[in-house]
Structure 1
């Protein structure tokens, strides 16, 4: 993994990140647009972590901390680069960020139907918390 570089995204990365998510991420989010990612980076410049190998984007994770909860979103690895430890390296970077900020527990958003992701999260020491359900209300159309 020594040739893998993990860094925080900046505003110049937004278009590349959006293209990457269309190819590598499962599902879509209401915030998967230029304005949404701009707000994320502007509000919390350290939250969107990018993994690069040979100058090419190979993975992402959003490691958001609001002072109360550590939340992980958009863990994605390019399909041709899976099983190379990129997701593990991204999650280690996210967890180190959370620890430095005083975080105590990480919550991950994982699609119910994404069985491959379930195995990845379990291998990383995460477990499904069945007593909670996510409730949502879109604020825009």
Structure 2
């Protein structure tokens, strides 16, 4: 990586993000379409965080906060760029956003079959909460 840039997505990024998820994200969701992502960015312009390397999209995370809980979705790094700190940089940006907003714990939902994702969340310090099948981490002591 020569020039990793972390920034919020804009409406102009959405087609690129949707194409990126087809390559880098595990599974799809009913909201993984233009209308769903447009609604996300319109509702919370800072929630969809992008990582770019020399102008190329290499990672994403959705850092949603509902005023009570912090939720992480679509942490995705391009398969050819994994294990280079991109996911960690995205999570750090998401967690900083949550703390700034007053969040105290973040949760991530991960498909059971996504073994790479399960490993990544564990490595990032999140603990599996079996009763809800989610990964969680306190943001403050």
Q: State the TM-score, normalized to the length of structure 2.
A: 0.92
SS of equivalent residue, structure 1 residue 120: helix
Higher strand share: 2
Aligned-pair CA distance for 1:118 = 1.0
**What are the superposed Cα offsets for residues 107-133 of structure 1, whole Å, 9 maximum, x if unpaired?**
001111111111110111001001225
Distance 1:32 1:65 in 2: 19
**What are the superposed Cα offsets for residues 43-88 of structure 1, whole Å, 9 maximum, x if unpaired?**
0000000000010000000000010110000000001100111000
Query: What's the counterpart of residue 138 of structure 1?
Result: none
Residue 78 in structure 1 maps to residue 78 in structure 2 = yes
Q: State the TM-score, normalized to the length of structure 1.
A: 0.92
Distance 2:110 2:71 in 1: 11
Query: What's the counterpart of residue 103 of structure 2?
Result: 103
Residue 124 in structure 1 maps to residue 96 in structure 2 = no
Query: What's the counterpart of residue 33 of structure 1?
Result: 33
Query: What's the counterpart of residue 137 of structure 1?
Result: none
Distance 1:133 1:78 in 2: 25
Distance 1:73 1:109 in 2: 7
Which 4+ stretches in 1 moved above 3 angstroms? none
SS of equivalent residue, structure 1 residue 75: strand
**Aligned-residue RMSD, C-alpha:** 1.2
Contact kept? 2:2, 2:54, Cα under 8 Å:
no
Distance 2:83 2:132 in 1: 30
Distance 1:63 1:11 in 2: 17
Distance 2:106 2:41 in 1: 20
